[in-house]
Amino acid sequence: MINHLMTKRLKIWVYIFLAYTTPLFAMSTDLKNDNPGNETFSAYIGKGYNILFGYPLPNNELIEDPGFRKEIFDTRNSLDIINNVACQKDEYFSFVEDINDVTELAMDNINVEELNTNIIPFSASMPYKSYFTDLEIKRKKYIVAQNTCVHTYVTHNLRDSAKNINKDFLLVTDKLPILSKEKIEKECQKMLYLYNSNNERCSKSIRPWVDFFQKYGTHLVVSAHFGGKTFNSLEISLDKLEEIKIYSYKYAIRNVPYLNVFKAPLLLQEVVKRKGRGGGTGLSSGSSSGLSGATNRQDGETRRTRRNVIEGKNSSLDIKGGNQMDEEWKELTYEVWKNSIYTNMRPVHLDLISLSSFMRIEKKQSYDIGLAYYNNLYSMDKENYYLSRDITDVLSDGKQITGSGKGSLILSCPVGYVKSTGFIFTFDTSEKIKGSNGKEGRMNIYPCHNKGEYDISCLYINKNVHVISFGWMYCVKHSFVKFETIHAKRSYTSHGKNAHGKNAHGKNAHGKNAHGKNAHGKNAHGKNAHGKNAHGKNAHGKKAHGKKAQGKKAQGKKALEKETLEKEALKKKALEKEAIEKEALKKKALEKEAIEKEALEIKCSDGYTLAFGFKIKLEKEKNLENVKIKPCALGDSKCIISHTKNNSEYLLWGFCVPLSFHSIRSLQVTYIEESHVTSDVQGSCSDQYKNKYDNIFLGFSFSFDKELENFEMFPCTMKSKHCVSKIGKKKIKNYIGMLLLCRNDGGVKRNFTHY
């Protein structure tokens, strides 16, 4: 049925065609169709085909195969048509156990060469995604029966293609950018594209290729078989599937007259029959086939029960071509449908060649890079399945691990899970640390980053028994569910500017005192010298007989003026220095104030948003029971502490998830706290529980006494109404804190319930 030789000939004509692509723009594509019979076939032949979004198998929910795209060649007057009727019925069932079986069944209807093995055909189509959920997530199993009738084989003659090509296709192809795999992986990662494909880093590189694939597809339809096809499926148990595999000859379906083979009563009885108590198949030993006409020996009551089971089974019949959906389609026979195909022929098998065949050599590699990126964006696999889900459903698939202790702490995921995110909080209880100016401070937080596919633990190593630690870790089933862990810290001595400002201020004070001392000495010395000089001159005047009194007065006046000038100069210098010192002190005070107001923040990468987080503050002289904890706002890319002070320590921690998850903005982190607790308590997301949306989606509680001798940390049960926090010694007063991921209620303050 598949004409491989014809496809190879067409590829040869593609190379001949490429030698004449330069003058194509001057050629006319305004051709008229003189043969109306060709319109049915030209609606498919010469079109682009999207190998990811296409689905060649029958599906009643699809009016047309979604893979067909814009016209690349006008084929109305260049089709070769061969009429040859051939029909094929499945003799036995096919088995669909996983998504690869669906791909193989669909690929039987496609002939394509040189497809990269990393490309998953049809994986972005609606039917494929539905099967993916059923087979890979819900673990369903199916048996399948197919019928195929081919009436006509139609191919396009590429010898006349040069004058019939779509000029817009050539223009778009010519403008496609040259791609670099390394550059795209660095500048336009998948999460960034899904978040904002119009950002500058993506719009000038990969975005034109994605738009090209969406508009013209990934391949060209050069030929096709037209006729009709049916796809009959039934969901069955794994045990029954294995039984039918072993005893397939007992389930022959070739002679079933119904188009829906599961309409045959005897066949259905055997399909839904359970195994006997002795481990047998439950089939009659004298019957070689469920369709052999053997008499049903079961009584009427058993027959009615089985009929009820049959009617509840998930069976379907999808039809492409022919008489499809009349009112009595369940009663439609194979012969009636086969005879109706003449009036409604559809493409049931396609021959495709890559659109890179029509591109120059320098763009062929870019085509491969672009198609791989396109596949990674839209194909349905386990990673993309999770990325498209509700965040609460994703979180509920994981496990929360908590722990506490003195010194070192190790958290490990259970078997079958890997680490995704988490933290270990530590607090040094020693008095030496409490009163010191050490850079580390008393509090610290160590993030639990995912470091690879086999990373299952988070650990903190410290032999100091004065350090207590609390840890929380979130584990996932699949290593690709990676949450981004972010954190920040600021202690009361971590500011280099603050320390520097304090030391500089001491130097300035010392300089001012020294300056005053020097100035005072200088002034005193000047006065003494002046007196001495004056005394000498007076004595000389007395000895010098005959000097005039006027000369004495002039000399005295000159000395006085000099002294006055010196005093003014010294005073001016003192004022200038004082002004400089005041300005320096003012500047340092402003710097100190700015540091105390400096913000501390954590921020998610592009394409991610905060899904859980908190902020912690503890003043220098306060005990841990005076800690201040506030939740971060969700649905934003960052969490901020707007103002920090030198006398306090600050911690920020959170994890980010891809923006493709649903319902993130409908959630909030709720914090409940209470001091001096002497009994077990429970916290909840809502005062009045109405439905599952009032459940706790994620969370943990922690407690400690005033002396920090007894401390515990517990995970909250996910998808539950309440989170319980138990304390060991009932008579000792404890501080209890609880962080819960809840539905957004506007931030209503919650309190514990004691019991």
Q: Which of 48, 68, 339 is nearest to 218 (CA)?
A: 48
Q: What percent of the chain has pLDDT over 70?
A: 76
591 plus 668 within the same structural domain: no
What pLDDT does 284 receive? 32
The mean predicted confidence, pLDDT, of the chain is 80
Report how far residue 419's alpha carbon sits from residue 456's, in angstroms, rounded to the nearest whole number: 5
CA–CA distance, 623 with 645 (Å, rounded to integer): 17
CA angle at 250 for the pair 248 and 255, rounded to the nearest 5°: 100
Pair 52, 128 in one domain: yes
Is residue 593 domain-shared with residue 686, that is, in the same domain?
no
Q: Which of 597, 621, 646 is the last residue of a domain?
A: 597
What pLDDT score does 194 carry? 84
Q: Is 301 a residue whose pLDDT tops 60?
A: no
- Condensed to tens digits (0 to 9), the pLDDT of residues 275-294 reads 443 333 333 333 333 333 33
* One domain for residues 195 and 274: yes
**Do 708 and 429 contact (CB within 8 A), yes or no?**
yes
pLDDT in tens, 460-480: 998 888 899 999 999 998 877
Give residue-wise pLDDT tens across range 555-608: 777 777 777 787 888 888 888 888 888 888 887 766 655 554 578 999 998 889
Residue where a domain terminates, one of 567, 597, 627: 597
Residue 25: predicted pLDDT: 30
**Is the predicted pLDDT of residue 23 greater than 70, yes or no?**
no
pLDDT of residue 530: 44
Quick one: which of 219, 209, 225, 210 has its CA closest to 73?
219
Sequence-distant (6+) residues with CB within 8 A of 124 are 52, 53, 378, 379, 380
Q: Is the pLDDT of residue 611 over 60?
A: yes
Nearest one of 447, 446, 445, 455 to 475, comparing CA atoms: 455
**Higher-pLDDT residue of 434, 452:** 452
CB of 52 within 8 A of CB of 375?
yes
- Using alpha carbons, select from 472, 477, 504 the residue that is nearest to residue 403: 472
Q: Which of 269-273, 400-404, 690-694, 717-721 has the lowest mean pLDDT?
A: 269-273
Inter-residue contact 283 to 240 (CB < 8 Å):
no
pLDDT band at 529 (very low <50, low <70, confident <90, very high): very low
Q: Count Cβ atoms below 10 Å from residue 482 Cβ, excluding itself.
A: 18
Q: Between vectors from CA 84 to CA 79 and to CA 90, what angle results, nearest 5°?
A: 120
Rounded CA-CA distance 391/394 in Å is 5
Using CA atoms, how far apart are residues 114 and 117, in angstroms rounded to an integer?
Answer: 9
Query: Which of residues 552, 574, 597 is at a domain's end?
Result: 597
Q: Is residue 645 part of a domain?
A: no
CA distances from 88 to 1, 319, 573 (A): 11, 15, 110
The boundaries of the domain holding residue 155 are: 4-380
> Does residue 491 sit within a domain?
no
Residue 626 belongs to a domain: no
Looking at the structure, tell me whether residues 560 and 668 fall in a common domain.
no
Residues 120, 230: one domain? yes
More confident: 61 or 263? 61
* Phi-psi map region of 511: left, alpha, beta (phi>0 left; psi -120 to 50 alpha): alpha
**pLDDT value of residue 545:** 47
For range 720-734, the mean pLDDT: 84
pLDDT, position 310: 47
- What are the beta bridge partners of residue 704? 711, 735
Q: How far apart are alpha carbons 271 and 283 in whole angstroms?
A: 10
Q: Give the pair of three-digit tokens for residue 249.
A: 């000859």
**Whole-structure pTM value:** 0.69
Do 572 and 667 share a domain, yes or no? no
- In this prediction, residue 345 has a pLDDT band, given cuts at 50, 70 and 90, of very high
Residue 532 placed within a domain? yes
**What amino acid is encoded at 639 in this protein?**
C
Distance CA 332, CA 319 (A): 11
Residue 190 lies in a domain: yes
Number of domains in the chain: 3
Co-location of 106 and 210 in the same domain: yes
C-alpha pair distances (Å), 107 with each of 43, 60, 117, 317, 740: 22, 19, 13, 20, 48
- Reported as a pLDDT band with limits 50, 70 and 90, residue 520 is very low
Residue 611 belongs to a domain: no
Quote the pLDDT of residue 63: 87
Query: 643-670 burial by CB neighbour count: b if 16+ within 10 A, else e?
Result: ebbbebbbbbbbbbbbbbbebbeebbbb
Residue 578 shares a structural domain with residue 673 = no
Residue 246 lies inside a defined structural domain of this protein: yes
Alpha-carbon distance of 118 to 450, in angstroms, equals 25
Helix axes 549-597, 496-543, angle to 10 degrees: 180
538 and 685 within one domain? no
Q: Does residue 60 share a domain with residue 157?
A: yes
Q: What mean pLDDT do residues 59-64 have?
A: 91
669 and 558 housed in the same domain: no
Q: What is the CATH number of the domain that holds 668?
A: 2.60.40
Tell me which amino acid residue 231 is: F
CA atoms of 660 and 354, how far apart (whole Å): 31
Instruction: Kindly state the helix (H) or strand (E) to which residue 171 belongs, with its residue range.
Output: helix 167-175
pLDDT at site 186: 87
Between 313 and 214, the more confident residue is: 214
pLDDT at 29: 31
250 found inside a domain: yes
Picking from 165, 179, 145, the residue whose alpha carbon sits closest to that of residue 262 is 145
Q: How far apart are CA 298 and CA 272, in angstroms?
A: 14
Burial environment of residue 458 by CB neighbours within 10 A (0 to 12, 13 to 18, 19 or more): buried
